[in-house]
A and B are shown apart, each in its own frame.
Chain A
Amino acid sequence: MAGLKCSAMLALFAVLSLSSLARGAPNDDPPAWQSLPPAASGDSVQAEEGDEDDDEPNDEDEAPTNPFASVPADGVESSLSRALSGPDASFCKAQAAVRDDPLLCSLSKLSVRQRCPGLRQACTNKPVESRSSLFGADSLLSQGLGAVSSLVFWLLLAALVIAVALALRRVLVGAQFIAPETAKRPSPKSSDAAAIAPHVAETDVARLWSLAEQSALSARFEDAVAALQAAMIHALRMAGKLHVSPAQTNGDYLRALRSDESYGAARDVFRSVEAVQFGGAPASADLYRKLFERVQPIVVRVLSVLFLCAFCFGASACSNSLSFGPEGGGHGLGVLTQLLRDQQVTVRRRIRPLSELEPDVYAIMVVGEQPSEAWTKLLEFAADGGTLIVTESGEELAKATNVHYSAESYQGRLSLPVGFEPTQLELSAVTRHALDLRTSVQSERTYAMAGKRPYVAERSYGDGRVLYFGDDEFLSNASLSVGDNAFFAVSLLSGNGSTLELVGPWTGGGASSTFSSLYKAGLGALVAQLALLAVLFGWHGGTAFGLRRDPIFVRRRAFRDHVLALGENYRRARATRFALATYGSWLIERLRERLSPQQPIGLIELASRMAVRVELPEPELVLLLTEAREAQDDLASARPSPNDLITLEKLENMTLRAGGSK
């Protein structure tokens, strides 16, 4: 199986390479880099402007090199590079009319300087081998080879998919174990068995399943049944039915599955595997087959649910990105945004309403449909000197500029209008609309044609201008990777250090308050329900939702706490008299040692000395000491009293005030 997959992948790669080679020769024109000047850095461009005649012969004398060997074949870099590497490396150099165009001229220089910083270095790279003339021409051979390659590619892809599906089916769905015909291998020694035993930390169901299969095919059935059991346990874990840990026994798992439908199968599997592992029962092919049939439904069921969930989640994630991600995907504007940012243009989405336009905004690009009041603001912006970039028709726009979008199916290469042919830009589009410039005015300019109709055009409006694109797809990420679309779009849209704002459905959608935000997010009803629930809960149970409690800190208790806890135990055991007798007599002895260390004294004398030390009435101390002594004398007969512990505590305090027990 692995060999088949490897071979298929290699074949697929080979066909892909062949196909790309066959498709890499679009026309008869020589590759652009063959006539490229050797260096086109920013400095050299400035030199070219002042010394054109000297440069041209040098350009022709240079040996053909591949300046873009490090540039991806279909990347935006390639698009820009090809435009700049034609026979007329600079617009300024090729045509006086183009050179006089401040927009294209300045941007071509800017592109050379900023978009291709490694251009000069790239021009010094070693030339690559010239393409074969077989592929250099748009010959029938190359076209046929491309078609065959495409066919082979799809056939191989289909074969690969079928092989994977069959392998999955064999492993999971319809698999039946066939015992190997070879004789069973001799049982390995215990050390060997430990080495080849399934890894205890393996938790992947598919790998465990594969391990079981491999072990069975190798006639190591003890490992095989253990792997089968592990696969079942982890499949149930993935289904949320088990918590698996190294300290759990099979009995624990069975108790957790007691009310589950897989209980019976799991019990049978556990019993059989335990008999092998702990009971010395032989593991055979029959046992493996029997366990396989018990485990298979559980594993397949769990994996199917997981695959289904993953598929649904992935599908929803993909649909989200396509529908709601304006930057990413083939339809997004992420590439255009990034290219403009590389040209020092600040590109940002406009969230605030159009009524408050900042002065640094030089252009506004309209994405999607807009309400009529928005068009009013946008046209005001253009009339005040801004650049309005539109890709879709609008009623207000058509009225104001007399430019209509006509629905016209067109697909393929865009042509360049008169005056722009020397640029040799290769533009292409899949368009749904073309422009209908009904009233010709002097301040009108067409940049690209879709057939006979304008596709990209500019018309002045007030002090500013409106730039029309025949279709919003032209500026998408997918479109900009084709031909010179990227360079063309960036040339038209960039402005030095200025700000271009994207206006779309999100414009004016910002909330002015919290309530407005909740409403616009569609959470109003939910929050209202929660608030109602909180009110009802508070009404039902009172204002307090719970008692405030300080966090419990586990700390080590002081010895005094232990003594108090011990005293509490004495109280519960009704043995307070015993505590007073024993601990009281001990305290009295300590007091005697402290107050009369030389000779023994009686309680009266002790109380007298204590009174001097602690400044308390002597009779009170006599009473205290007497109570402690009586407790010792009538320990067997007297009933416990709640005052015993109080007396004991007083005596302890007296001892502390008298200097402590030590």
Chain B
Amino acid sequence: MNLEQLSSELRRIETEVSRVLVGQESLVEHVLVGLVARGHVLIEGVPGLGKTLLVRALARVLGLSFRRIQFTPDLMPSDITGSTLYSQKLGEFSFVPGPVFTELLLADEVNRAPAKTQSALLEAMQERSVTTDGITRPLSEPFLVLATQNPIESQGTYPLPEAQLDRFLLKLEVGHPSQAAEAQILLNYVAGFDPGELSHLAQVSSQAAIVEMQRALGHIRIAREIIDYVTDIVRRTRTHPSVSLGASPRASIGLLNVARAHALWEGRDFVIPDDVKSYAHAVLRHRLQLQPDAELEGITADHCVDAVLRDAVVPKTSA
């Protein structure tokens, strides 16, 4: 498939998922871009906004396998990765894969599990493989983790450390749908929509197509000016007065990959500055550690990214 066909297939996926996930088109686009960029997505939002429905619908439309893990304080690493059990029938130890051996994984309320359990998942995210009992088992391709966390409650939670947050390519903040979208949701329910039953969704893509999309990123052209623009943005996060720890080089790579994926989404074979700028918040917001003073002033990471984007000069600008 050429770029135009890949782009139209992405659009078809978005359209199909939006049939059941009303009013979250931007979220669907960002998740798909993250999937194509071979990254993982952290979604922050209050319960009831359709995060689980998104992943299930996505798995259905993409034809990918889907597993869900509800993170709790007593969740163990082996509950994620799987463990070796002794089979009395066979008289030997055999490995029972955990839910991480899937293509789409929903890690619900990931910050409710202790750091040890979180790190088990994060290792799988980074290495795309799981090592148990000295044996490394690769995960399937594609492998996308959608982790969610609630921004309101903080008691009894284990906030993800910055080093672990860095593993997520995108952090998306899900807001409430508009009034019109919410009315459409209600109309769907009145018409008999059952979120547990998604069989009416058509599979418009496949695992092979997703992998092809991921490989096609290598053919997306990146001008030198774009690379300078990305590095300029990331460098400015490190010198911003309200930021104590700026974005890492991994963030630069992530921003570049996401820009490529967005160019593919748009059907272009080259990256433009708008690809970078439009995804800067999602890529950078969870990688910035703010100064205590700034936090007390109510300054957020998004404010800092805004300031950085206001100062960074767009390449070949007409201004």
Contacts and interface: CB of A to CB of B under 8 A. Distances in A.
Interface of A: 200, 203, 226, 229-230, 233-234, 244-252, 274-275, 277-280, 554, 556-557, 561-562, 565, 573-575
Contacts of B250: none
B37 interface: no
A176 B297 CA distance: 58
A248 B314 contact: yes
Interface string B75-91: 00000000000000000
15 contacts: A226-B316, A230-B318, A246-B314, A246-B319, A247-B313, A247-B314, A251-B278, A274-B272, A275-B270, A277-B316, A278-B221, A278-B270, A279-B221, A562-B292, A573-B154
Contacts of A230: 318
Interface string B281-319: 000000000001100110000000000011111101111
Contact of A277 (B223, B297, B310, B311): B223
A639 to B, nearest CB: 12
Interface in B249-276: 268-274
A576 to B, nearest CB: 11
Nearest to A244: B319
Contacts of B272: 249-251, 274, 278
B154 A248 contact: no
Given A573-B154, A574-B155, A248 B278 contact: no
B221 A247 contact: no
Contact of B277 (A229, A246, A249, A554): A249
Contact of A246 (B274, B292, B293, B313): B313
A233 B318 contact: yes
Nearest to A245: B319
Contacts of B274: 249-252
**Which one of A248, A557, A565 has the highest number of Cβ atoms from chain B below 10 Å of its Cβ?**
A248
A200 B317 contact: yes
Contacts of B221: 278-280
A248 B319 contact: yes
Nearest to A562: B296
Given A247-B309, A275-B270, A280-B221, 9 more contacts: A200-B317, A233-B319, A245-B319, A248-B317, A249-B272, A251-B272, A275-B268, A279-B268, A280-B270
A247 B310 contact: yes
B55 interface: no
Contact of A249 (B155, B268, B273): B273
Interface of B: 154-155, 221, 223, 225-226, 268-274, 277-278, 292-293, 296-297, 309-314, 316-319
Contacts of B310: 245, 247
Contacts of A574: 155
Q: Which secondary structure characterizes the binding site on chain A?
A: loop
Contacts of B271: 278
Contact of B226 (A203, A248, A278): A278
Contacts of A561: 296
B318 A244 contact: yes
Contacts of B311: 247
Contacts of B226: 278
B296 A200 contact: no
A278 B313 contact: no
A574 B156 CA distance: 10
Contacts of A248: 314, 317, 319
B314 A557 contact: no
Nearest to A227: B318
B277 A234 contact: no
A467 to B, nearest CB: 65
B269 A279 contact: yes
Contact of A573 (B155, B277, B312, B318): B155
Name the 3 nearest CB pairs between A and B, nearest first.
A251-B274, A279-B270, A230-B318
Contact of A229 (B292, B312, B314, B318): B318
A226 B268 CA distance: 19
**Which one of B154, B155, B273 has the highest number of Cβ atoms from chain A below 10 Å of its Cβ?**
B273
**Which one of B154, B293, B297, B317 has the highest number of Cβ atoms from chain A below 10 Å of its Cβ?**
B317
Nearest to B277: A249
Contacts of A554: 297
Contact of B319 (A200, A556, A562, A573): A200
A565 B314 contact: no
A275 B221 CA distance: 11
B223 A278 contact: yes
A299 to B, nearest CB: 13
Contacts of B270: 274-275, 278-280
A251 B273 CA distance: 8
B166 to A, nearest CB: 25
Nearest to A208: B318
Nearest to B157: A573
B278 A278 contact: no
B49 to A, nearest CB: 23
B319 A251 contact: no
